[in-house]
Amino acid sequence: MNTFRAPKGTYDLLPPDSARFLAVREAMSAPLRRAGYGYAETPGFEHVGLFARGVGESTDIVTKEMYTLTTRGGDELALRPEGTASVLRAALEANLHKSGNLPVKLWYSGSYYRYERPQKGRYRHFSQVGAEAVGAEDPALDAELIILAVEAHRSLGLREVRLLLNSLGDRTCRPVYREALQEFLRGLDLDEDTRARAEINPLRVLDDKRPAVREQLAGAPLMSEHLCADCAAYHARVRELLTAAGITFEDDPRLVRGLDYYTRTTFEFVHDGLGAQSAIGGGGRYDGLSEMIGGPALPSVGWALGVDRTVLALDAEGVGPELPPATEVYAVPIGEEARSALFALVTEVRRAGVAADFAFGGKGMKNAMKSADRSGARFALVAGDRDLAAGEVQLKDLASGEQTAVALDGAVEELVRRLGRS
């Protein structure tokens, strides 16, 4: 038995399952790249203050779920629990907002960390693909990002994802709603921690998942009833653009999500086949986040899609992306001279864009052919001394068993032709 195991709430990605995760990441990022989003990568840890200011000191993420550490130099750092604050910090540090080409459109992919109670669909280490459009206040930008996420889900074959949509107002109308909501919450039978949260950020209470709290929230005032004229018009335009693009959505006036920085457009993608952990992604507009972390006013919008939960959604629907074969051709040499010749041929085959593997380790013919079958390859390249003397190699179709002698110097072209690449 191994001495060490993966920490609780984490997982390893290994073949063949890892191929599905890679395919999901590719499907999520492909629409973004086509829409002009450039790749960004940030450190796995940041200063604690970045998340305390940006995500919100009253959120569960900051108060309960962040992994924090103190360096030998005394710096307080945190493993990143989400991506938006880090990407915005990086964009500000690099002065991308001063380029004169706004919005700055970025996408990213990576691992994130939260100290949560592990369960299916909720891990302490998880993977996301995210997108941020920094520096523009435009309902078309909000709609663009939502449409790109929907296209990613559709390209994966998902058909049962629901899009929930809401507006959280802005600094003009939210204070009025905040006061009305606090007045309502003060009349409820809430525990001490929840009452304290209601005084710091009452919208966080709306995100409470406990049945005893949710029952009491039935009559809570709604943000949609308190939107100012500008926010109402902005939200109406987002809805119009989505409808015109053929995007189906559900208005959810109680949707707030778990982060403090959201303003105006807020959305979530849910899949009912996942049980309690039904959210597979979401995002929204965060017009004040730049100022929260010490930058200039930069209206922005973004989202993050969970790779782990999207894979679970694919499982729930029994669908999945078409995966490229790990191996299409497997080389089986018989004898040392053949090993050198076929090793060189495998290199040529790979350069031609074909996935190829080799019988390493001096396997005998029988074991090498078993490995070829297990690899999932369509063809085997087999050669011995006689074949090489004739300038040939045997090309075997592993499905039909048909074997054909082909010229060694024409083997690459023949494989490319048979695989339909020519």
Task: Output the CA angle 388-389-391, nearest 5 degrees.
Answer: 60
> Of the candidates 86, 35, 58, which has an alpha carbon nearest to the alpha carbon of residue 289?
86
Q: Find how far residue 23's CA is from the centre of its chain.
A: 11
Residue 82 counted as an annotated binding residue: yes
**Residue 15 CB contacts under 8 Å (≥ 6 apart), including other chains:** 326
Residue 162 counted as an annotated binding residue: no
Q: Are 283 and 261 in contact (CB under 8 A)?
A: no
> Of the candidates 320, 340, 319, 352, which has an alpha carbon nearest to the alpha carbon of residue 383?
340
Structure tokens at 278: 């039904």
Residue 410 counted as an annotated binding residue: no
Residue 84 counted as an annotated binding residue: yes
> Of the candidates 340, 419, 344, 411, which has an alpha carbon nearest to the alpha carbon of residue 381?
411
Task: Please list, residue by residue across 302-330, b when 16 or more beta carbons sit within 10 angstroms of its beta carbon and e when fewer do.
Answer: bbbbbbbbbbbbbeeeeeebeeeeebbbb
Distance between CA atoms of residues 378 and 399, nearest Å: 7
Question: Which residue in this structure is represented by tokens 């840890």?
Answer: 45
H or E element that contains 179: helix 174-185
Structure tokens at 327: 């191996």
Residue 55, classed as helix, strand or coil, is coil
Distance between CA atoms of residues 237 and 421, nearest Å: 46
Residue 128 counted as an annotated binding residue: yes
Distance between CA atoms of residues 145 and 218, nearest Å: 31
Distance between CA atoms of residues 200 and 198, nearest Å: 6
Q: Are 129 and 25 in contact (CB under 8 A)?
A: yes
Distance between CA atoms of residues 192 and 185, nearest Å: 12
Distance between CA atoms of residues 58 and 139, nearest Å: 29
> Of the candidates 22, 70, 23, 18, which has an alpha carbon nearest to the alpha carbon of residue 47?
70
> Of the candidates 106, 105, 117, 52, which has an alpha carbon nearest to the alpha carbon of residue 82?
52
Residue 412, classed as helix, strand or coil, is helix
Residue type, 380: A
Annotated binding site: 82-84, 114, 128, 132, 257, 261-262
Annotated binding site for L-histidine: 82-84, 114, 128, 132, 257, 261-262
